[in-house]
């Protein structure tokens, strides 16, 4: 386990590690203990300027490197991540507070899959041609890499989401300026070394650390960064859209969610209950896809409430390195306080705290950011608890009477990322899947992902789609060539 206490996180720029030019640093906290365990570069506009110049210089060669060669390097990066699974999982857990077991089984394998998937996908990314019959002309579409792309990612699934953006961008022949969240920079830092070992040419990927408001802002404003792929909060997304629109940058925005988990009486009860525990509290509820609003058909409501609470009370909150931890620590003190403020407001809105609600003191780690998994019964879907993204181990439950009622609750929210449906009725499944306002509808499952499918949200959950060819389309500019012949 990585227990070093003064880890210095430098930028990875032009293939090597560098201090920020201003020598400005930010403290890096360990959520499990609340202690500072290292420092992170706080990069400014000059650092971004320098990295962008490296990326631009690398673009000439990288954009004309054969698909086979790009694919080979991406697959080697995937191998490099897998070879360091244990080390990366421990680093992710220490930086984020999530259980090591979760990082080892989900986050890090998925980061490897992201590179492997796009290493293969790029070999199948074909352009179209259209013969203009009768006019003696043929059109074909070139898919040109954009140039330098900015990738900005959040703290909840650090390496998983960081690589989900970087892999398609470089596979398509772009060079990248990437910024992980300043709250969780550790695995992004290690990725630089893995890329060098895999033979990624210098300048193709530049990993720049620092605050959103300085480093992130400099990425948004740099005129040579032509596209921004962003995952994070809806407010930040709004700011990014406002900043980038007048500069005509291409934008992909994956934002917040307030996802309904809809349970009908005819569901497979045990499967539903087991999955609902996960969809409510995996990663301490800090997944944009978590089903934070649970709606249960009235005849099943009291049974569900009893069984769910019994199961939630049995979830162990512990130090993330402990094998018994089902929940670890929340990511930061400020985030813990934000989540607690929602719980504190619950009674004013008529919410009844059925279980949880309190901070957990873990022996030996008394300053860590631990919180009990919390279930709140609400009276109406219009309360703040059901309308605002809490992004922590807090779910609400509420009964419903009819399909129409629950559809209106599900859709009556500003977000539209995902929805989960538990029923065996195929007609209802089809009706509701068509009508739910969400980018993804899971039926009798949750978070089952096939990387070929389009991923993203509607309404305040974002603009654009990631995944499969959608991501490769975002990372390229189509150019139509029309040839007339005689
Ligand atoms: P934030 O929006 O606070 O931050 C996301 C990233 O943006 C961070 O790297 C942050 O840097 C950076 N940033 C902040 N301000 C700026 C700025 N002015 N210019 C450029 N970059 C900036 O989100 P969180 O990190 O708090 O992540 C949680 C949010 O992410 C939740 O709302 C969640 O729903 C959403 N999310 C959405 C997903 C999806 O696929 N739709 C998936 C996962 C999470 P810094 O950390 O330094 O502030």
Supply the angle between the helices 158-171 and 108-121 in degrees, to the nearest 10: 10
In this predicted model, what pLDDT tens digit does every residue of 283-323 receive, in sequence order? Answer: 999 999 999 999 999 999 999 999 999 999 999 999 999 99
pTM over 0.95: yes
List residues near ligand 1 (CB under 6 A).
Answer: 152-156, 161, 179, 181-183, 211-213, 216-217, 220, 231-233, 236, 239, 254-257, 288, 389, 391, 417, 457, 461-462
* 149 Cα: distance to centroid of ligand 1 (angstroms): 17
- Order across the sheet with 476-484: list the strands: 129-132, 137-145, 476-484
* 133 Cα: distance to centroid of ligand 1 (angstroms): 49
For residues 459 and 436, what is the distance between their CA atoms, to the nearest angstrom? 12
Please provide the average confidence, as pLDDT, over all residues in the chain: 97
Do residues 316 and 324 make contact, with C-beta atoms less than 8 angstroms apart? yes
Do residues 371 and 404 make contact, with C-beta atoms less than 8 angstroms apart? no
* 154 Cα: distance to centroid of ligand 1 (angstroms): 4
In this predicted model, what pLDDT tens digit does every residue of 267-281 receive, in sequence order? Answer: 999 999 999 999 999
Average pLDDT over residues 437-445: 98
In this predicted model, what pLDDT tens digit does every residue of 46-85 receive, in sequence order? Answer: 999 999 999 999 999 999 999 999 999 999 999 999 999 9
Q: Whose CA is nearest to atom 23 of ligand 1?
A: 232
When pLDDT is cut at 50, 70 and 90, the band that residue 13 belongs to is very high
Instruction: Tell me the torsion sign for CA atoms 105, 106, 112, 113.
Output: positive
Q: Whose CA is nearest to atom 20 of ligand 1?
A: 216
Which residues are identified as catalytic?
A: 254, 288
| Planar angle of CA 107, 227, 44, nearest 5 degrees | 80
* 478 Cα: distance to centroid of ligand 1 (angstroms): 29
In this predicted model, what pLDDT tens digit does every residue of 328-381 receive, in sequence order? Answer: 999 999 999 999 999 999 999 999 999 999 999 999 999 999 999 999 999 999
Instruction: Judge whether residue 1 has pLDDT over 60.
Output: no
Do residues 429 and 443 make contact, with C-beta atoms less than 8 angstroms apart? yes
Percent of the chain with pLDDT over 70: 99
Q: Whose CA is nearest to atom 43 of ligand 1?
A: 288
When pLDDT is cut at 50, 70 and 90, the band that residue 3 belongs to is low
Token code pair at residue 420: 């989960």
Instruction: Output helix, strand, coil percentages for the chain, rounded to the nearest 5.
Output: 40, 25, 35
When pLDDT is cut at 50, 70 and 90, the band that residue 5 belongs to is confident
Phi/psi at 411 (5° precision): -85, -15
Instruction: Judge whether residue 2 has pLDDT over 60.
Output: no
In this predicted model, what pLDDT tens digit does every residue of 338-351 receive, in sequence order? Answer: 999 999 999 999 99
Q: Whose CA is nearest to atom 45 of ligand 1?
A: 212
Instruction: Judge whether residue 127 has pLDDT over 90.
Output: no
């Amino acid at each position: 386990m990585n227990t070093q206490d003064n880890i210095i996180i430098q930028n990875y720029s032009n293939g090597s590690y560098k201090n920020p030019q201003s020598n400005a640093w930010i403290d890096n906290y360990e959520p499990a203990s609340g202690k500072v365990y290292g420092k992170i570069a706080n990069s400014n506009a000059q650092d971004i300027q320098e990295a962008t110049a490296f990326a631009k210089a690398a673009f000439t060669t990288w954009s004309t490197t054969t698909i086979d060669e790009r694919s080979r390097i991406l697959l080697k990066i995937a191998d490099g991540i897998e070879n360091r699974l244990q080390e990366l999982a421990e680093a992710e857990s220490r930086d984020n507070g999530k259980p090591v077991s979760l990082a080892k089984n989900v986050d890090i394998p998925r980061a490897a899959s992201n590179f492997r998937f796009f290493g293969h996908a790029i070999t199948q990314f074909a352009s179209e041609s259209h013969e203009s019959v009768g006019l003696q002309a043929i059109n074909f579409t070139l898919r040109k890499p954009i140039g330098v792309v900015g990738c900005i990612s959040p703290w909840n699934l650090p390496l998983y989401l960081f690589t989900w953006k970087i892999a398609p961008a470089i596979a398509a022949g772009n060079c990248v300026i990437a910024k992980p969240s300043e709250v969780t920079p550790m695995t992004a830092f290690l990725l630089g070394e893995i890329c060098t070992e895999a033979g990624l040419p210098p300048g193709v990927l530049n990993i720049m650390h620092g605050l959103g408001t300085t480093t992130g802002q400099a990425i948004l404003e740099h005129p040579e960064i032509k596209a921004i792929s962003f995952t994070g909060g809806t407010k930040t997304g709004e700011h990014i859209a406002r900043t980038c629109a007048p500069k005509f940058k291409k934008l992909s925005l994956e934002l917040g969610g307030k996802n309904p988990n809809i349970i009908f009486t005819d569901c497979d009860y045990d499967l539903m209950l087991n999955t609902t525990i996960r969809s409510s509290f995996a990663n301490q509820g800090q997944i944009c896809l978590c089903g934070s609003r649970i709606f249960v058909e009235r005849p099943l409501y009291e049974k569900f409430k009893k069984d769910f609470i019994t199961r939630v009370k049995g979830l162990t909150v512990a130090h993330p390195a402990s094998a018994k931890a089902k929940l670890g620590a929340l990511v930061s003190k400020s985030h813990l306080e934000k989540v607690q403020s929602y719980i504190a407001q619950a009674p004013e809105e008529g919410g009844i705290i059925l279980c949880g609600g309190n901070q957990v003191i873990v022996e030996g780690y008394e300053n860590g950011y631990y919180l009990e998994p919390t279930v709140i019964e609400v009276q109406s879907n219009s309360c703040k608890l059901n309308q605002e993204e809490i992004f922590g181990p807090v779910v609400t439950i509420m009964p419903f009477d009819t399909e129409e009622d629950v559809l209106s609750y599900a859709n009556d929210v500003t977000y539209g990322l995902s929805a989960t449906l538990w029923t065996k009725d195929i007609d209802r499944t089809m009706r509701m899947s068509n009508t739910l306002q969400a980018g993804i509808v899971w039926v009798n499952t949750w978070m089952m992902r096939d990387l070929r499918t389009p991923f993203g949200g509607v309404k305040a959950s974002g603009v654009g789609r990631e995944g499969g060819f959608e991501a490769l389309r975002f990372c390229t500019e189509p150019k139509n060539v029309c040839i007339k012949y005689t």
